[in-house]
């Protein structure tokens, strides 16, 4: 009976872990450029002395959904969405180069181009600083053009270019901060083939309806595991009673 209880117990624990990942996806259903986590269940043999007759359940995040989210027009000059494959290069909190699909950008009081979460956006020469201007536009190739303060529209000039990259998917890993990095720690090369849609943002690729259905299914699986534990306990007590009578 202890084998059945052990399998059911580990199954219930891992279902809760999968539910946590699913709830994390649901919480980010409106997060710009978010990539949904993917989880999978597996069985593993319990290692140790004796016969290899026991197994336990595990669940783990096996990657992320790389489907491209819907591109939604905003009309805002500093909003950009990556058109197809590719990433925006930013400077992560640890100072390393990182990658994101969230293109809701802003310019702070010092002229630095930042993401909505305050991360510096990188250009070919490092973090981008924008001179004082009366208008700013971002091209499909990531070029940033401005009309300087006090000048007419005929003086428009390109002052920087956002670093756009397109590394192989298998070389990327997502950190706890939601940013992506190359697994070997290297910086990806700029890719001129990556294009932007200006005045638009990419929505999260989380399927809200699918995540809700998955939440219900996981809840039922958890209840089933608890029922299996109770049944195994009842069977163990009944067996013990029979042995005492004998």
Residue 225 phi, psi (nearest 5): -65, -40
pLDDT at 4 exceeding the cut of 70: yes
Cβ contact 104:119 at 8 Å = no
Residue 24's H or E segment, with its range, is helix 2-27
Would you list the domain boundaries of the chain?
Answer: 2-67+206-245, 71-202
pLDDT digits (tens, 9 = 90+) for 163-200: 999 999 999 999 888 899 999 989 999 999 999 999 99
pLDDT at 209 over 90: yes
Whole-number Å distance between alpha carbons of 205 and 26: 11
- pLDDT cut 90: percent of the chain above it: 61
Q: Could you tell me which of 1, 20, 46 has the C-alpha nearest to residue 229?
A: 1
| Mean pLDDT of the chain, nearest integer | 88
For 8-17, write each residue's pLDDT tens digit. Answer: 778 788 888 8
Contact yes or no for 205/68 (Cβ under 8 A): yes
**CB 99 within 8 Å of CB 198:** no
Q: Is the pLDDT of residue 246 over 70?
A: no
pTM passes above 0.85: no
Q: Going edge to edge, which strands form the sheet with 172-174?
A: 164-165, 87-91, 97-100, 180-182, 172-174
Backbone angles phi, psi at 102, to 5 degrees: -80, 110
Specify the higher pLDDT residue, 51 or 7: 7
Q: Sorting pLDDT into bands at 50, 70 and 90, what band is 44?
A: low
């Amino acid at each position: 009976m202890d084998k059945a209880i052990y399998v059911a117990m580990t199954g219930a624990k891992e279902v809760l872990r999968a539910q946590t990942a699913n709830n994390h996806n649901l919480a980010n259903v409106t997060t710009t450029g978010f990539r949904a986590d993917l989880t999978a269940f597996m069985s593993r043999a319990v290692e140790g002395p004796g016969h290899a007759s026991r197994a336990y359940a595990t669940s783990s995040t096996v990657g992320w959904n790389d489907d491209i989210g819907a591109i939604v027009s905003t009309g805002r000059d500093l909003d950009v969405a990556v058109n197809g494959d590719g990433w925006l290069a930013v400077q992560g909190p640890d100072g390393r180069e990182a990658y994101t699909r969230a293109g809701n950008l802003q310019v702070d009081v010092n002229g630095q181009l930042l993401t909505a979460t305050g991360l510096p956006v990188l250009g070919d020469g490092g973090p981008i600083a924008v001179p004082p201007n009366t208008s700013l536009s971002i091209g499909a190739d990531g070029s940033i053009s401005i009309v300087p303060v006090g000048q007419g529209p005929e003086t428009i000039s390109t002052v920087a270019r956002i670093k756009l990259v397109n590394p192989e998917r298998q070389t990327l890993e997502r950190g706890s901060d939601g940013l992506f990095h190359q697994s070997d720690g290297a910086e990806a090369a700029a890719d001129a083939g990556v294009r932007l849609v200006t005045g638009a943002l990419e929505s999260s690729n989380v399927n809200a309806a699918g995540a809700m259905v998955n939440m219900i299914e996981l809840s039922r699986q958890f209840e089933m595991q608890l029922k299996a534990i109770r049944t195994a306990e009842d069977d163990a007590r009944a067996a013990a009673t029979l042995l005492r009578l004998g």
